[in-house]
Amino acid sequence: MAEVRLSLLSGVLAALLSSAVLALVEDLDDTFKDTRVNDIWLVDFYAPWCGYCKKLEPIWHDVGAELKTSGSPVRVGKMDATAYSGMASEFGVHGYPTIKLLKGELAYNYKGPRTKDDIVEFANRVSGPAVRALPSKQMFEHMMKRHDVLFIYVGGESPLKEKYNDVASELIVYTYFFSASEEAMPESLALPELPTVVVFKDGGHFTYDEYEDGSLSSWVNKERFQGYLQIDGFTLYELGDTGKLVAIAVIDEKDPTEESGRLKAMIQKVSKDHREQFNRDFQFGHMDGNDYINSLIMGEVSVPSVIILNTSNEQYFMPTGPVQTEEHLVQFISSVLNGSAQAYGGDGFTQRLKRVFFDARSTIMSVFRSSPLLGCFLFGLPLGVISLMCYGICTADTDDSSDDMDALKREGLTDEEAEEEEERRRTAALEGPEEEEEEEEEEEEDEEDEDEEEEDYEEKDPEVKKMD
């Protein structure tokens, strides 16, 4: 009796809980197209079979809870994109999971790390006004403390302001945009002329110059990172959008000889002192350890050392000898800039071929490293069986033929592995960490039909735009 009551109770509890869950994250179907219009929605388009989608599920629930408790107007939903594929393709969903914020006729893609905080921040940023007003000096000071990179339009109504609004409504996926009157800015700030767009970062401020910097949108895109960054695989992938070359000090943070620290300080100083000369074309930073870079260039870079990557064509540049002085470093960077430095790598046919074998080898090696037994089983067992069969067949007249077959089969296997990996790895290597592979690949393939498919929604995805 007690058991029955208990199970009843837990049933009711579960029902209560699940209804609470539903309220936080709403399950969407094809009525969504009509019911969504008056609200801002953050939607996870998922596929039931996709592993990354499953990983996102608890995070998505937390996102729903957080936005609800903070009183955000954003409603959180999820849609099985395989069950409502027509709907999904109308929203331009090509990979899973795809996270989009839908605001009126605009759809914004989320491409950041899939953590609760990052997603909530994105939702808050993009759901708000594209350009936020800074009414006072106090507010300006406050925002300066909160943001490493701060874009502000200073001045009254103007064509530049209209342009700024347009750029903001597109690039709000990356960063915040503010506007202020001259009075709300500190007196010490000597702005050349108004109206103007200023970015505050790296302990200073830099103004947009249409003549020097080209379009406002490309300037914002290039200036939205701090001049010097700690770089990891994901940052590198994000930096790809800026079209800049990336100059990286590959160092060991725990290097006891301080050689790493010296190089890091040197590249940091060059990024600051030679901003005028290099900022338009280079992003600077350091990376801890050489694993990531090694797999990128399919080779081995020494630690510490400097490498410059061209993420658009997968080429890289290395100084001819160890970088001893600041002058040497500046010379190296200049030589990349004026095209006299030797470029390595690239995305040509032989490089792609090399990538196939490189990835196959590292896949096999990583299987053996993480689990030698499994490795033996996966690669050894088939070889063993095949050898035995060969032995059985050939045993009558020859001894060494089985060895030959063995070697052949090993190569065959490598190829198979390689093909499987090729599609994913090739594009992913320079573009992003493993997590992104699945999604990115599919997006790339489908980018061309993006325009036809989205009749009703203007796609606010700078990456897609740029590539079109």
Out of 50, 376, 390, 394, the active site residue is: 50
Segment near ligand NAG (CB under 6 A); pick from 116-124, 270-278, 307-315, 368-376: 307-315
Nearer to ligand NAG, 10 or 312 (CB): 312
Q: How is the beta sheet containing 98-103 ordered, strand by strand?
A: 26-28, 74-80, 40-46, 98-103, 106-110, 458-460
Q: State yes or no: is 50 an active-site residue.
A: yes
For residues 338 and 351, is the Cβ–Cβ distance under 8 A? no
Of the residues 18, 136, 230, 331, which one makes contact with ligand NAG according to CB under 6 A: 331
Size, binding site for ligand NAG by CB under 6 A: 12
3-state secondary structure of 286: strand
How many degrees, rounded to 5, is the angle at CA 149 between CA 145 and CA 155?
A: 90
User: Closest CB to ligand NAG among 340 and 350?
Assistant: 340
Residue of 315, 308, 319, 257 whose CA lies nearest to 281: 308
Among 127, 221, 310, 351, interactor with ligand NAG by CB under 6 A: 310
CB 282 within 8 A of CB 245: yes
Q: Which is nearer to ligand NAG, 235 or 311 (CB)?
A: 311
Cis peptide before 73 (omega within 30 of 0): no
The catalytic position among 53, 376, 390, 394 is 53
- Of 8-16, 266-274, 309-317, 320-328, the segment contacting ligand NAG by CB under 6 A is 309-317
* Binding of ligand NAG by 312 (CB under 6 A): yes
Q: Does 338 bind ligand NAG (CB under 6 A)?
A: yes
320 binds ligand NAG (CB under 6 A): no
Which of 79-112 are b and which e, b meaning 16 or more Cβ less than 10 Å from the residue's Cβ? bbbeebeebbebbbbbbbbbbbbbbeebbbbbbe
SS3 323: coil
Catalytic residue check, 53 = yes
Supply the minimum distance, in Å, between the C-beta of residue 343 and ligand NAG.
Answer: 6
What is the footprint of ligand NAG within residues 230-259 (CB under 6 A)? 245
Our measurement of the distance from residue 95's CA atom to the centroid of its chain's CA atoms, rounded to an integer in Å, reads 15
Q: Which is nearer to ligand NAG, 192 or 339 (CB)?
A: 339
Residue 148's identity, in one-letter code, is: D
CB 134 within 8 A of CB 143: yes
Residue 135 CA to chain centroid, in angstroms? 34
Q: State whether residue 280 is helix, strand or coil.
A: coil
340 binds ligand NAG (CB under 6 A): yes
Looking at the Cβ atoms of 46 and 332, the one nearer to ligand NAG is: 332
Give min distance, CB of 281 to ligand NAG, in A.
7
The answer to whether the Cα torsion of 283, 286, 290, 292 is positive or negative is negative
> Helix or strand or coil: residue 402?
helix
Q: 335, 362, 387, 401: which one contacts ligand NAG (CB under 6 A)?
A: 335
Nearer to ligand NAG (CB atom), residue 199 or residue 336: 336
Residue 100 has phi, psi (to 5 degrees) of -135, 145
> Applying CB under 6 A, does 313 fall inside the site for ligand NAG?
yes
Stretch that binds ligand NAG, among 165-173, 293-301, 305-313, 379-387 (CB under 6 A): 305-313
Q: Which is nearer to ligand NAG, 124 or 313 (CB)?
A: 313
Cβ of residue 39: shortest distance to ligand NAG, in angstroms? 41
Of 72, 82, 207, 334, the one binding ligand NAG by CB under 6 A: 334
Minimum CB separation of residue 358 from ligand NAG in Å reads 21
- 8 Å CB contact between 452 and 100: no
Query: So which residues are the catalytic ones?
Result: 50, 53
Residues near ligand NAG, by CB under 6 A:
245, 310, 312-313, 315, 331, 334-336, 338, 340, 343
